[in-house]
Amino acid sequence: MTLDVFGFNPLTVLIFAPALGALLVLGVASLIPSKWIARWLSLGISVGIGVLATLVFFAYNREVPGYQMVTLGQWFPTIGSSWHLGIDGISAAMILLTGLLVPLAILISWEIEDRPAVHLALILFFQTGLMGVFVAVDLLIFFLFYELSLVPIYFLIKEWGGKNRQYASTKFFIYSIGGTLGMLLATQLIGLTAGTFDIEALTTFWPAFNPEGGLFLGADIQTVKALAFIGFLVAFCIKVPVWPFHTWLPDAHSEAPTAGSMLLAGVMLKLGAYGFIRLVVPLFPDVWVAEVSLLGIQATWAGVFAFLAMLGIVLGAFAAFGQNDIKRLVAYSSVNHMGFVAMGIAVMAAVYGEMYVNGLANNMQDAIIATNGAVMQMFNHGLSSAGMFLLAGAIYHKTHTRDMREYGGLWVKAPIYGGVFIFTSMASLGLPGLNGFVGEFLVVRGAWPVFTALTVISMIGLLFTGSYILKGIRAVLQGPFNLHWQDYDLEIERREFIAIAPLLVLMLITGLFPNWILPVINDTVTRIFASLG
C-alpha cells in the first residue's frame, strides 16, 4: 500500500497541505465573506490531514529499522542541506498527536467571531510548522520549521488573546527566538563542519568528530562541543519548558485563545522534547556525561538536567497549586507534567552517554523504559492538556472570567461538563487506568535506579499534582452554586463536547491498553540503544 497523495510523498503532503489549506481558507473568505464557509472549510481540511496522519501512523512498520516513508530531494546543495523527510516510531506518534489535535482546535475556534478566517488559517499555518519539525531528517529543515511554527501562534496570541496579550505574546516570541540563537549558531557549526545537515549522517559524524591535535577553530574540541550543546540545550529547554526557562509559558498559555492554548500545550511543547530525543542526545552523548562543576558541585550535564527536571516537577506543581486563574493553573500543570518528560530524557541521555563513552550497558533497560515513558508522557500530556485547556476555555467563554474564586458549585447546573471535567482532570492527575499514569509510571520506573534521590524528591511534585487538580475541581464544581451564574447556560455545548470526545476516548484507551501505541515507540527506542550495544 502506498500512501502517496497525487504522487506526493505523504509526509510532504502533511507539511504543505495545511499551509495550502490556509491559503485556500483565506482566499475563499475574501471572495465569500461567510464565517461558516471558513469554519467548515478549515475543519474539512484539518480532518483530511488528520486522517492522513492517522493512516501514516498505522502504515508505519515498527519492525523495520531506520526512517520510513523517506523522501530525499535537492534543497540547498551548496551547503549540503537537502529536503530529507522521514519518520520513525517517535515521530509517528507525534504526527498522530498533531493530526488529531488540530481539527479539535479548529472546531473549538468556531466560537471566534473576530476575523474568523484569519484565525483559522493561522492554526493551519501553525500545523505546517509542527508537522515540519516532526518529519524533518535534515537539521536545517528542522530548524526552519522550528522557527516557522512561532509566527502563527505569536499572532494568534497577540490578536485573539486575553487582556494581557501584548505582554504575553512579546515575551513568548522573544524568549523563543532568543533561545534559538545559540541553536542556530550550533546548527551552522555542525552542518558546515560535516558538510551535510542530514541528521542521520550527523549522529554518527559529530559525536566521533575529533580533529587532529584536539583543536577545532583554535579551541579545544570538547569546549566547542560543549558550546554547541549549550546552544541546543537552551533552545529546547525553553520550549519544553525546563525549569527555570518556563516563565513565558504561564503567560502565553493563559492569554492565548482556547485553540492556541490547546496546540501550544498539546503539541508545541513537544517540539522541545522531540528535539532533545532526536538531536541533543544522539549528537552529544559525550557531553551529557562530561563532568561539570557548578557552584562547586561536581555533576554531569545529564545530572544537572535531571535536577532541573525535578525542580520543574516539584515547583511546577506548587506554582499550579498557588494559582487562582484557571488557565494559569492548567498552564503550570504543563510545567509539572513536562518535568516528567525531561526526567525521562535525562535518564536517556545519562545512559546513552555512558554507553557511548564507556560501553556500559547495565542500565539500558531502565533507559529504554524511561525513554518510552518520556514519549508516552509527551503523547499523553498532549491529550490531557489540550482537554484541560478546552474545558477551561469552555467555562471562560461562558462566564468571561478566569478567576476560579468566582465559580463554585457549577456542577449543579452543568452535570455533563462536571463529569467531563473530572474525567479529564483525573487523566491529567495521572490516575492509573487513564493515560497520564502510563508515562509517569514508566519515567519514574526508569529514573529510579539512575537518579534515585531526585526521583524521591519528585514524588513531592506528584503529591501536589493531586492537590492542584483537586483545587481546580473543588473551585469549579464543588461548593454551593454561585447564584451569580443563575441565568447563565453553563453546560458544555454540543460542539465542545464533540471536540473533547475523541480526547476522552483516547485517554481511556491509552490508560487501559497502552500497547496500541507503545510498541511503535518501544521498537524505535530499543533500536536507538541497541545501535550502541
Partner 1 sequence: MINFSDPNFLPWLIPVGPLLAFVIIVLLTNRSRLVPATDRHEYGGHHPEYNGMLVPVVSPSSRVLSIVVGMSGAVAAWLMSWKVVFDALAVGTGTFGKSVFGSSVEWMALGDRPFTMGVLIDPLTIPLLFMVPLAVLMIFIYSIGYMAHDPRQARFFALISLFAGAMLTLVVADNLLLLFVGWEVMGLCSFMLIGFWFEKHSAYKAAVKAFTTTRVADVIMLLGIVYLYSQTGTLSFREILYNQEVLAQLAGTPALLFGGLGISASGLIGMFLIIGTVGKSAQFPLHVWLPDAMEGPTPVSAMIHAAAMVSAGVYAVIRMYPLFEAGGHPHAGEFTSPLLLMTFVGGFTALFAATIAIAQNDVKKVLAYSTISQLGFMVAALGIGAYIAATFHLITHAFFKALLFMASGSVIHAMEHGEHHVHEHGHGDHGHHGDHDEDYPVAPASIGGGRMELAYEAHDGHGHGHHHDEHGADHGEFDDVGGIGDEHGSHHPHDAHAHTQAHDHHFDPQDMMNMGGLKDRIPVTFITFVIGGLSLAGFPLITAGFWSKDEILADAWLGLTEGFGPQIFVFFILALAAFLTAFYTARQLCLTFLGEPRTEEAKHAGLGGPRSVISITMQLPLVILAVFALFAGFVGVPPDFPIFGALFSPEVNPFFEFVKYSLLVEIQPPKPPFSVWPVLTSFAVALGGLALGYWMYGRKPLTAGQPDPMIKILGPLYNVLKNKYYFDELYTIVFIRPSQAIARVTSDFIDRGIIDGILHFIARAANFIGDLLKVFNLWLIDGVGDGIPQGLGKLGERLKFLQTGRIQQYLLLIAVFALLIGLIFAAVSVGIAGN
How far apart are the C-alpha atoms of 416 and 426, rounded to whole Å? 15
Under the criterion CB under 8 A, does residue 291 sit at the interface with partner 1?
A: yes
Cβ neighbours of residue 354 closer than 8 Å, sequence gap 6 or more: 289, 360, 363
Between 32 and 405, whose beta carbon lies closer to partner 1? 405
Query: Cα dihedral sign for 344, 349, 351, 355?
Result: positive
Report phi then psi at 293, rounded to 5. Answer: -120, 110
> What's the gap between Cα 371 and its chain centre?
15
The sign of the CA dihedral 210, 213, 215, 217 is negative
Sole binder of partner 1 in the list 53, 130, 153, 368 (CB under 8 A): 368
Out of 44, 48, 162, 479, the only residue in the binding site for partner 1 (CB under 8 A) is 479
Nearest approach in angstroms of CB 348 to partner 1 is 13
Distance CA 176, CA 440 (A): 27
Contact letters (x/-) for partner 1, 173-212, by CB under 8 A?
A: xxx-xxx-xx------------------------------
Q: Report helix, strand or coil for 244.
A: coil
Applying CB under 8 A, does 57 fall inside the site for partner 1? no
Which of 250, 272, 344, 393: binder of partner 1 (CB under 8 A)?
A: 250
288 is an interface residue for partner 1 by CB under 8 A: no
**322-341: string of b/e by CB count within 10 Å (b at 16+)?**
ebebbbbbbbbbbbbbbbbb
Q: How far is the CB of 192 from partner 1 (least distance, A)?
A: 19
Q: Does 369 bind partner 1 (CB under 8 A)?
A: yes
51 or 459: CB nearest partner 1: 459
Among 109, 323, 377, 428, binds partner 1 (CB under 8 A): 323
Cβ neighbours of residue 419 closer than 8 Å, sequence gap 6 or more: none
> DSSP label at 493?
P
**Across the strands, what pairs with 85?**
71, 136
CA atoms within 13 A on the CB side of 244: 0
The least CB distance from residue 246 to partner 1, in Å, is 8
Q: Counting contacts by CB under 8 A, is residue 20 touching partner 1?
A: no
Closest separation in Å from C-beta 49 to partner 1: 28
Q: x/- binding map, residues 66-105, to partner 1, per CB under 8 A?
A: ----------------------------------------
Which of 319, 342, 383, 500 lies at the binding interface for partner 1 (CB under 8 A)? Answer: 319
Please say which residue, 350 or 477, places its beta carbon nearer to partner 1: 477
- Residue 463, classified by CB atoms within 10 Å of its CB into exposed (0-12), middle (13-18) or buried (19+), is exposed
> Partners of 82 in the beta sheet?
74
Q: Are 234 and 183 in contact (CB under 8 A)?
A: yes
Would you say 146 or 173 has its CB closer to partner 1?
A: 173
Residues 426-445 that bind partner 1 (CB under 8 A): 426, 431-433, 437-438, 441-442, 444-445
Shortest reach from residue 512's CB to partner 1, in Å = 9
Residue 247 burial class via C-beta count within 10 angstroms: exposed 0-12, middle 13-18, buried 19 and up: middle
CB of 244 to partner 1, least distance (A): 5
CB nearer partner 1, residue 164 or residue 204 = 164
Rounded Cα distance, 524 and 521, in Å: 5
**Residue in 28, 422, 509, 532 binding partner 1, rule: CB under 8 A:** 422
Query: CA dist 441 to 341, 424, 445, 505, 512, Å?
Result: 11, 18, 6, 21, 14
- Residues in 392-421 at the binding interface with partner 1, rule: CB under 8 A: 404-406, 408-409, 411-413, 415, 419
CB of 416 to partner 1, least distance (A): 9
Residue with cell 469552555: 394
CB of 227 to partner 1, least distance (A): 6
Q: Which stretch binds partner 1 (CB under 8 A): 100-108, 191-199, 365-373, 496-504?
A: 365-373
Residue closer to partner 1, measured from CB, 110 or 437: 437
Is 459 a binding residue for partner 1 by CB under 8 A? The answer is yes
The residue from 51, 324, 362, 501 that contacts partner 1 (CB under 8 A) is 324
Q: Is the CB of 33 or the CB of 433 nearer to partner 1?
A: 433
Q: How far is the CB of 357 from partner 1 (least distance, A)?
A: 14
Rounded-to-integer distance, Cα 530 and Cα 524, Å: 10
* String of DSSP letters for 467-489: HHHHHHHHHHTSSS--GGGTTS-
- Shorter beta-carbon distance to partner 1: residue 61 or 324: 324
Nearest-Å Rg of the Cα atoms of the chain is 22
Q: How far apart are CA 502 and CA 440, in angstroms?
A: 22
Interface pick for partner 1 out of 27, 64, 73, 166 (rule CB under 8 A) = 166
> From CA 4, how far away is CA 328, in angstroms rounded?
42
Residue 463 C-beta: closest distance to partner 1, Å: 5
SS3 of 430, please? Answer: coil
Q: Which stretch binds partner 1 (CB under 8 A): 45-53, 93-101, 262-270, 483-491?
A: 483-491
Size of residue set near partner 1 by CB under 8 A: 99
Is 222 among the residues that bind partner 1 (CB under 8 A)? Answer: yes
- Tell me if 453 contacts partner 1 by CB under 8 A: yes
Q: How many angstroms separate the CA atoms of 30 and 28, rounded?
A: 5
Q: In whole angstroms, how close is the CB of 140 to partner 1 at the nearest point?
A: 20
CB of 477 to partner 1, least distance (A): 7
